Structure 1
């Protein structure tokens, strides 16, 4: 991989990781367009590792929320009286909601890095989940707040997040859609979805780092891609949280459908190979 390719993939990761458009799908498409072999383990590992930049940007942006929940959680572990604080309950719900995608990601690792990397899968994921997002916006009542979050709700959102392991679906698209269907406010469930994604992104990066550094990608391109991802993702997170506080996510559906149809045309005409 060249430095230029690493920069491009870093930009794509930073732009798409926190938008409901599927970062894995975009990485797969862009990598293929640049002539990279998308089912090469070193390439898929590189894509997972540069998510470290996006994770770091997310943690930096949400540092106050993370510190507040972490402090409440540790206090609650030591002091029974501190367990009555709402932040202690929210900390546990965030941890529980992160479990499904971590488990599925571990046990379905070979499937995710193999057959699901087909561009046909990406196209289908983009189009099909676009319909889900439209339905979610149509039924959204947005009459529930973060304080109303229950164990059942967070498990549903966490399970929905596992669908993001299918390229084309999108982690934020899955969590926002599930949250809207459950009646939560768009901006609050978006923030919650970001928090739930941290363990999964971090876990994937830890697992894939050795292969990315020792394989065909190398240290320098990996570092470059990670730094670029961090810078772009930091601004993207802030933009997305401001956007969903005032707008629906329907605009992303039209983009998803356009990209999905474009992929189908390119695949059908032979302009792009599926793998």
Structure 2
């Protein structure tokens, strides 16, 4: 992978990681269009590592929320009185909600890095999950805030996040949809899903960094992709949270359906191959 390709993939990562359109799906499509073998372990490791930039952007943007949760959690561990703080409970819900993707990610790591990288899988994920998003908007009542979340909510939203390991589904699309179905308002669902994404993305990056640096991608392309994803992701997060405060996520559905259909056409006509080569 050269510097230009790393730059492009960094932009794609930053633009799509926190939108309900599937960052992995878009990375896979763009990599295929650039002639990069998308089922190469070093490439999948590179894509996981440049997510560090997106993580740092998210942490920076949500720093006050993260600080409040962390301090409430620490105080609650030390004092029984402090455990009445709703943010102490919310901190535990973020921790518990992160467990499903850790389990699925570790158990299915080889599957995620191999067979699921097919562009046919991406097309299917984009199209099929779109109907879940439409159903979520149909069911949306938005009567619940972050302090109303329960252990069941945390596990269900966390379980939905684990489904996003399938390229095309989308981490934010999955968590926002699950939140809406559970009656949570869009902004809370988005922010909670983003919180769950921090340990998930960080864990993936830690696991994949050695392969990315030593498996053929190299230090400089990895560094460029990470820095670019950081800058682009920061502005994307800010835009997305403003967007969901005023709009539904149906607009993303039509984009996903169109992209999935286009991808099927490109694959069927041989313009793209399932593995990008």
TM-score interval, normalised by the smaller of the two chains: over 0.9
Cα deviation, residue 5, structure 1: 0.3
TM-score by length of 2: 0.99
Structure 1, residues 108-142: CA drift from partner, whole Å, max 9, x if none?
00000000000000000000000110010011111
Cα deviation, residue 179, structure 1: 0.4
Match of 2:55 in 1: 55
Match of 1:71 in 2: 71
Query: What is the number of residues matched between the two proteins?
Result: 275
SS in 1 for 2:112: helix
Aligned: 1:81 with 2:81: yes
Q: In 2, distance between residues paired with 1:6 and 1:58?
A: 21
Match of 1:8 in 2: 8
Cα deviation, residue 18, structure 1: 0.1
SS in 1 for 2:169: coil
Question: Following superposition of structure 1 onto structure 2, how do residues 168-247 of structure 1 map, counting pairs within 5 Å?
Answer: 168-247=168-247
Match of 1:133 in 2: 133
Cα root mean square deviation, aligned? 0.5
Q: Which moved more, 1:76-85 or 1:42-51?
A: 76-85
Q: In 1, distance between residues paired with 2:39 and 2:162?
A: 21
SS in 2 for 1:177: helix
Cα deviation, residue 146, structure 1: 1.2
Match of 1:27 in 2: 27
Q: In 2, distance between residues paired with 1:86 and 1:139?
A: 26
Do the aligned residues in 1 keep the contact of 2:97 with 2:158 (CA within 8 Å)? yes
Aligned: 1:274 with 2:274: yes
Q: In 2, distance between residues paired with 1:52 and 1:92?
A: 23
**Structure 1, gaps ≥5 residues long:** none
SS in 2 for 1:165: coil
Q: In 2, distance between residues paired with 1:124 and 1:243?
A: 26
Cα deviation, residue 103, structure 1: 1.1
Q: In 1, distance between residues paired with 2:90 and 2:249?
A: 25
Do the aligned residues in 1 keep the contact of 2:87 with 2:147 (CA within 8 Å)? no
Q: Which moved more, 1:224-233 or 1:72-81?
A: 72-81
SS in 1 for 2:246: coil
SS in 1 for 2:83: helix
Aligned: 1:257 with 2:257: yes
Match of 1:152 in 2: 152
SS in 2 for 1:273: coil
Q: In 2, distance between residues paired with 1:33 and 1:231?
A: 24
**Structure 2, gaps ≥5 residues long:** none
Moved over 2 A (4+): none
